[in-house]
Every structure is written in structure tokens, then in C-alpha cells.
């Protein structure tokens, strides 16, 4: 009787782990990337994000016109631009600790603006506050502040 109970408990535990993993695997993309519809057209959305970023003390050091770049190689894709947003204070605080360099591949913060075939303009970005929690410490703290700033910047265009 005890052996059957133990075997049932082990099978239940394994099944629970498998189900939890399957759920997490399927839910991860929706948790890691945030997409919202813009209330403006494509070019206006980009311009408004840049203006709002600068008003919040952020810089926009680079814009990547992905549709233009791949268009040069013969691909016809809908308009897509990735804006790099940098806040020097957040970046400086993060880079003040060498152990934090592990997250530099996510710097500066990137926001993608793209247009769907139905004309809808989407603003997409990584859920950096969620990602930062995994690291903990000053990374989580600084990236949480940066995420709050980013979301405040994006409020100016989101529906």
C-alpha cells in the first residue's frame, strides 16, 4: 500500500513538473515581449516616441530602419523601425559594477515600431522588468526604473 502511494506521488510530481514546464514554455513569449497598438500612424509614432524620450531626459542614439535594410537585399517587408533609447544616468549606474556587464546586450533599451498589413501600428518591446528580476540586485533595481521611464515615454502613443 505504501509503495503504491509513493509511486503515485512520484508520478504525480513528475506530471506536475512536466505540465508546469509546458505552461511556462507556451506562456514565455507573451510574458517576455510586450506589444501595444499605437494611436498614431507609423512615422508619427516614431517621431512622438523620440520627442517624449528627449523630454524625459533620454537619448535616441540610433534608429534602425529594418525594412530599408532588408529591402536593400531584395526583400519587401512592411515598415519596421527599431529605436534605441538610452538614459545616461541609468546606463552609468548599471555600468558602475563590472558584474552588471552581463546585461549590456540589452542596452540601450530597444523599442520596435512596425505596421501590420491592416495598417495597425504596433509598439513592441522586451519586458525588461521581468527579465531583470532574474538577475536581482542592482540590475533588477536599475532596470525596473528604466522600464518605468520607458513605459511613461510610450504612454504618449499607446491606445
The model's pLDDT over 29-54, given as tens digits with 9 standing for 90+, comes to 567 899 999 999 999 999 999 999 99
Domain ranges of the chain: 33-154
Mean pLDDT of 61-88: 94
Average pLDDT, the chain: 88
DSSP state of 127: -
Q: Which CATH superfamily is domain 33-154 in?
A: TT1751-like domain (3.30.310.70)
Give the phi and the psi of residue 75 in degrees, each rounded to 5: -100, 135
> Can you tell me the distance from the alpha carbon of 67 to that of 69, in angstroms, rounded to the nearest whole number?
6
Answer yes or no: is pLDDT of 27 > 60: no
Give the confidence band of 149 by pLDDT, cuts at 50, 70, 90.
Answer: very high
Amino acid at each position: 500500500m505504501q509503495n503504491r502511494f509513493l509511486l503515485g506521488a512520484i508520478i504525480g510530481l513528475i506530471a506536475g513538473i512536466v505540465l508546469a514546464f509546458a505552461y511556462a514554455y507556451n506562456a514565455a513569449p507573451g510574458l517576455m515581449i510586450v506589444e501595444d497598438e499605437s494611436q498614431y500612424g507609423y512615422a508619427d509614432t516614431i517621431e512622438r516616441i523620440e520627442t517624449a524620450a528627449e523630454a524625459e531626459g533620454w537619448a535616441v542614439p540610433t534608429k534602425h530602419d529594418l525594412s530599408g535594410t532588408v529591402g536593400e537585399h531584395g526583400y519587401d517587408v512592411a515598415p519596421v523601425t527599431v529605436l534605441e533609447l538610452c538614459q545616461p544616468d541609468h546606463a552609468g549606474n548599471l555600468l558602475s559594477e563590472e558584474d552588471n556587464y552581463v546585461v549590456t546586450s540589452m542596452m540601450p533599451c530597444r523599442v520596435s515600431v512596425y505596421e501590420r498589413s491592416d495598417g495597425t501600428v504596433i509598439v513592441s518591446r522586451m519586458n525588461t522588468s521581468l527579465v531583470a528580476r532574474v538577475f536581482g540586485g542592482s540590475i533588477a533595481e536599475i532596470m525596473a526604473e528604466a522600464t518605468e521611464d520607458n513605459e511613461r515615454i510610450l504612454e504618449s502613443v499607446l491606445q
